[in-house]
Copies of this chain bind each other. A is one copy, B any other.
């Protein structure tokens, strides 16, 4: 297995991009990553996308996007594992480069979610849960995470205020990220009095519906050195699955797929949670960020709420989480999120994050999760 580096990143402003089609958004973003890397060709490409079929009536997007990027006949592969599709695209590209099958690979993610109405978006997102046993009975994603939140509050004494602190922190970070969909701060009071979606979760506990893409160019470290680029290595990769329905899990508050994917990634990189300087994790809802911190071993079980409340996960804290603003403030075009997390970690390790820079960050981790946690992809990055 060869050492793999990220040598180019691309991400454009996220939001409701009604004046751009799926292919426009993609090409713009992918070209940014290619420009940033300085390569003159790609050997292969991966596109993470959850549901272009339902959102824009278009499958076969791996070929469509290779065509519009002017890269056909290169092999182009779409991967899907709900909201972790972007992380999975990164993992497969990593495998292809590490194995020696290809040298220069474009890894990317995209979702165009706002061309449909709210009901249809809710339906599309529900296809990440168990359609026959969960959605059929009427539950939606805010409902699923609300059940997890209630269980976490009951088991560990996590408070409503602690959930809100996650949103306040992530919006504070996102206010320093010009590419974020909602780059503004919110107060504790704003969150606690925002409209209720699924008790105990309120609208400011939920990540938004977003159009956007993100892209990166990866290659063997030896080629990266020749290109004279700042090198960020991918040193760990993990991917795991869990029961699709939360009712089938032993403990609703425990994200087993995140634990397993983290374990694989830590083992490959030879690192432990305490070695990581900066985390980008899957805060699709505020409660998700708390459960993820526990499953990744960043804090002990049941201690995540307290850690956030004490400011440990803030930019200035000892375990900074989601300096980009997270899904909450940056937006959550589901298939793109996993790659956008990698884009932020690469910026942090290159020290290009401006006001939200974590000083001296050398090792970063991304955790990208599908549905209510039936899939997780984790990567570890190190400054070269």
User: Which residue numbers of A lie inside 8 Å of B, CB to CB?
Assistant: 1, 21, 23, 50-51, 53-54, 56-60, 62-64, 66-67, 71-82, 88, 92, 95-96, 98-101, 123-124, 126-132, 135, 239-244, 248, 256-257, 260, 370-371, 374-375
A-B pairs, top 4 by smallest CB distance, nearest first, are A99-B99, A63-B374, A75-B239, A60-B82
* Most interface-central of A135, A242, A244 (chain B CB within 10 A): A244
A59 with B127: CB separation less than 8 A: yes
What CA separation (Å) do A99 and B237 show in the bound complex? 15
Which residues of B are found within 8 Å of A248, using beta-carbon distances? 67
Distance A23 CA – B80 CA, assembled complex (angstroms): 17
* Residue of B58, B80, B132, B371 touching A127 (CB-CB under 8 A): B58
Q: How far apart are the CA atoms of A246 and B269 in the complex, in Å? A: 46
Residue of B nearest to A71 (CB): B241
Contact assessment for A127 and B60 in the assembled complex, using a CB-CB cutoff below 8 Å: yes
The reply to whether A62 and B132 contact each other, CB–CB distance below 8 Å, is no
Contact B1 A73 (CB under 8 A): no
A241 to nearest B CB, angstroms?
4
B73 and A257: CB pair below 8 A? yes
**Cα A281 to Cα B99 with chains together (Å):** 29
16 A-B residue pairings within 8 Å (CB atoms): A23-B132, A53-B53, A53-B124, A60-B80, A63-B81, A63-B82, A63-B374, A63-B375, A66-B241, A72-B242, A72-B374, A76-B241, A76-B375, A78-B80, A80-B80, A99-B100
Q: Which of B21, B73, B241, B242 contacts A260 (CB 8 A)?
A: B73
Query: Which B residues lie within 8 Å of A76 (CB)?
Result: 81, 241, 375
> Is A62 touching B81 in the complex (CB atoms < 8 A)?
yes
A278 to chain B, nearest CB (A): 25
A58 near B101 with CB under 8 A, answer no
Whether A81 lies near B81 (C-beta < 8 A) is no
In the bound complex, what is the Cα–Cα distance between A50 and B145 (angstroms)? 28
Question: Beyond A67-B241, A81-B78, A241-B76, is A100–B60 a contact (Cβ under 8 Å)?
Answer: no
B99 touches A63 (CB 8 A): no
Contacting pair A75 B241 (CB below 8 A) = yes
Contacts of A95 in B (CB 8 A): 95-96, 99, 101
CA of A205 to CA of B63, assembled, Å: 26
Find A67's partner among B79, B96, B123, B244 (CB 8 Å cutoff).
Answer: B244
Q: Residue among A256, A371, A374 with the most chain B CB within 10 A?
A: A374
Whole-angstrom distance between the alpha carbons of A259 and B78 in the complex?
Answer: 21
Shortest beta-carbon distance, A37 to chain B, in Å?
Answer: 21
- Determine the chain B residues whose CB is within 8 A of the CB of A126 once the complex forms: 57
Q: Is the CB of B127 within 8 A of A57?
A: yes
Contact A57 B131 (CB under 8 A): yes
Interface pair A371/B1, CB less than 8 Å apart: no
Does A59 lie within 8 Å of B67, measured CB to CB? no
Minimum C-beta distance from A189 to chain B (A): 36
A374 & B64 in contact (Cβ 8 Å cutoff): yes
Given contacts A23-B132, A75-B241, 7 further A-B contacts (CB under 8 A): A57-B123, A63-B82, A73-B257, A73-B260, A74-B241, A92-B92, A98-B101
Tell whether, in the assembled complex, residue B92 and residue A77 are in contact, meaning their CB atoms are under 8 Å apart: yes
Assess the A128–B51 pair: CB atoms within 8 A: no
Q: A137 to B256: give the CA distance in the assembly, Å.
A: 47
- The one of B1, B57, B96, B131 that contacts A56, using a Cβ cutoff of 8 Å: B131
Residues of B within 8 A of A81 (CB): 60, 62-63, 76-78
Contact of A101 among B51, B67, B99, B135 (CB under 8 A): B99
